[in-house]
Amino acid sequence: MRENIKLTNPRILVITLLGFSSTLPLSLTGSTLQAWFTQAGLSIAAVGALTLLGMPYLLKFLWAPVMDKVVPPWLGRRRGWILITQIGLVLTLIALANLNPSENLKLMGWVALIIAFISASQDIAIDAYRTDTLLPEERGMGTAYFVVFARLAMIVSGGLSLILADYFGWRVTYEMMAGILSLFILATIFGPDRSSVKPPATFKDAVIDPFKDLLKRNGILLMFIFVATYKIGDALALSLMSNFLIKTLGFSLSEVGIAFKSVGVIATILGALLGGLWLNKLGLFKSLLLFGSLQAFSNLMFMLLAVVGKNTLLMTSSIFIEGFCSGMSTTALVVLLTALCHQEYSATQYAFLSALSALGRVFLGPVAALIVEYVGWTSFYGWSFLLCFPSLILLTLLRNRMAMHAEALA
Query: Which tops the pLDDT comparison, 150 or 251?
Result: 150
The whole-angstrom separation of Cα 372 and Cα 119 is 34
Residue 194 above 50 pLDDT?
A: yes
Residue 100 above 80 pLDDT?
A: yes
Average pLDDT over residues 41-65: 76
pTM of the model: 0.79
State the virtual CA torsion across 129, 130, 136, 141 in degrees, nearest 10.
Answer: 160
Alpha carbon of 205 to those of 210, 345, 348, 389: distances in Å? 8, 10, 11, 37
Residue 404 above 60 pLDDT?
A: no
Average pLDDT over residues 398-408: 55
Residue-level pLDDT at 403:
45
Residue-level pLDDT at 329:
92
The whole-angstrom separation of Cα 132 and Cα 338 is 9
Residue 406 above 70 pLDDT?
A: no
Write the CB contacts of 85 (distance below 8 Å, at least 6 apart in sequence). Answer: 118, 119, 121, 122, 125
Average pLDDT over residues 351-375: 78
Q: How far is CA 160 from the centre of its chain?
A: 20
Residue-level pLDDT at 92:
96
In the structure, what pLDDT confidence band is assigned to residue 200 with cuts at 50, 70 and 90?
A: confident
Q: Does residue 98 contact residue 171 with C-beta atoms inside 8 Å?
A: yes
Helices 139-155, 312-339: axis angle to 10 degrees equals 130
Terminal C-alpha separation, the chain: 18
What is the tens place of the pLDDT at every residue in 318-339?
989 998 999 999 989 988 988 8
pLDDT above 70 coverage of the chain, percent? 89
Average pLDDT over residues 259-265: 76
Residue 18 above 90 pLDDT?
A: yes
Residue-level pLDDT at 120:
92
Query: Which tops the pLDDT comparison, 369 or 24?
Result: 24
Residue-level pLDDT at 405:
44
| Highest CATH level, class, for 201-410 | mainly alpha
Residue 401 above 60 pLDDT?
A: no
Residue-level pLDDT at 140:
80
In the structure, what pLDDT confidence band is assigned to residue 361 with cuts at 50, 70 and 90?
A: low
Residue-level pLDDT at 304:
94
Average pLDDT over residues 144-166: 83
242 burial (CB, 10 Å; 0-12 / 13-18 / 19+) is middle
Residue-level pLDDT at 51:
65
46 burial (CB, 10 Å; 0-12 / 13-18 / 19+) is middle
In the structure, what pLDDT confidence band is assigned to residue 409 with cuts at 50, 70 and 90?
A: very low
The whole-angstrom separation of Cα 8 and Cα 12 is 8
Hey, where are the domains in the chain? 1-199, 201-410
What is the tens place of the pLDDT at every residue in 277-286?
888 788 888 8
Residue-level pLDDT at 176:
94
Residue-level pLDDT at 184:
93
Query: 1-199 with 201-410: one CATH topology?
Result: yes
Residue 104 above 80 pLDDT?
A: yes
Average pLDDT over residues 46-69: 80
What is the tens place of the pLDDT at every residue in 26-43?
888 877 787 787 777 766
Alpha carbon of 265 to those of 12, 156, 167, 348: distances in Å? 21, 12, 24, 30
Q: Does residue 263 contact residue 319 with C-beta atoms inside 8 Å?
A: yes
In the structure, what pLDDT confidence band is assigned to residue 203 with cuts at 50, 70 and 90?
A: confident
At 197, give phi and psi (nearest 5°): -80, 135
Residue 290 above 90 pLDDT?
A: yes
Residue-level pLDDT at 133:
86
Q: Tell me the CATH number of domain 1-199, given options 1.20.1250.20, 3.90.226.10, 1.10.10.10, 2.40.50.140.
A: 1.20.1250.20
Average pLDDT, rounded, for the chain = 84
Residue-level pLDDT at 47:
66
